[in-house]
Chains A and B, each alone.
Chain A
Amino acid sequence: EAGVTQFPSHSVIEKGQTVTLRCDPISGHDNLYWYRRVMGKEIKFLLHFVKESKQDESGMPNNRFLAERTGGTYSTLKVQPAELEDSGVYFCASSPMWAGPGELFFGEGSRLTVL
């Protein structure tokens, strides 16, 4: 069974440009999460989808970030326009509805570098 896959693995863009990160969760997992780790800091929650609905987006830093989950399958996280402080590793995770509260399956992350 395929795990959580993320694309691209690494993206280098200039300040002001737009980047879209994609996450394919494990098949059948209704819960999908985005997390971010910026340099030297801990991994932080961004938002949570249940199927196509945003359950909790309290961690989204500002309105330059837009997350979508089309048809309850894959998800995209768009940063527009990107700023230097957006650099970091963006992790996607998924879990089935029957899983415990912290039992998440993470992808390997998309590293974003904003120059």
Chain B
Amino acid sequence: QKEVEQNSGPLSVPEGAIASLNCTYSDRGSQSFFWYRQYSGKSPELIMSIYSNGDKEDGRFTAQLNKASQYVSLLIRDSQPSDSATYLCAVSRSRGKLIFGQGTELSVKP
């Protein structure tokens, strides 16, 4: 079993819709969770971090964490074509030591 699992996609949503990206992790002791966005051929870019159960909102992005279910999600409201990218879920083992999932490719169709 992989430590961090994501559906690889591609996930296709129409412009303006809500995109829902999901991630599960195996280490129940994990405390810090991150979503990175990576455009093709570019660097991964941190877009959200979440450390406690519940929701965390930042603009059109909402991260949700449920430690009991070992589940992290990222919702993107009002999806735009510019949101088309690969979204990487990551769990922190120690400072800077991230365990990544394989990433979910999101495609937002105009």
Q: Give the number of residue pairs across the A-B interface with Cβ within 8 Å.
A: 69
> A102–B98 contact, CB under 8 A?
yes
> A56–B94 contact, CB under 8 A?
yes
The reply to whether the CB of A100 lies closer than 8 angstroms to some CB of chain B is yes
Which residues of B lie under 8 Å from residue A115 when comparing CB positions?
none
The reply to whether the CB of B110 lies closer than 8 angstroms to some CB of chain A is no
Mark each residue of chain A from 46 to 81: 1 if its CB lies under 8 Å from any CB of chain B, else 0. Answer: 001000000110110000000000000000000000
> B43–A102 contact, CB under 8 A?
no
Mark each residue of chain B from 4 to 18: 1 if its CB lies under 8 Å from any CB of chain A, else 0. Answer: 100000000000000
> B43–A4 contact, CB under 8 A?
yes
> B95–A101 contact, CB under 8 A?
yes
Mark each residue of chain A from 22 to 43: 1 if its CB lies under 8 Å from any CB of chain B, else 0. Answer: 0000000001010100000111
Known: A43-B88, A102-B32. 17 other contacts (CB 8 A): A31-B95, A33-B96, A41-B102, A42-B2, A42-B103, A45-B96, A45-B97, A45-B99, A48-B95, A55-B95, A56-B94, A102-B33, A102-B90, A103-B46, A104-B98, A106-B45, A109-B43
Interface residue ranges, B against A (CB under 8 Å): 2, 4, 32-34, 36, 41-46, 49, 88, 90, 92-103
Q: What are the nearest 5 A-B pairs in CB distance?
A: A106-B43, A102-B34, A101-B92, A43-B100, A102-B92
Interface residue ranges, A against B (CB under 8 Å): 3-4, 31, 33, 35, 41-45, 48, 55-56, 58-59, 91, 93, 95, 100-109
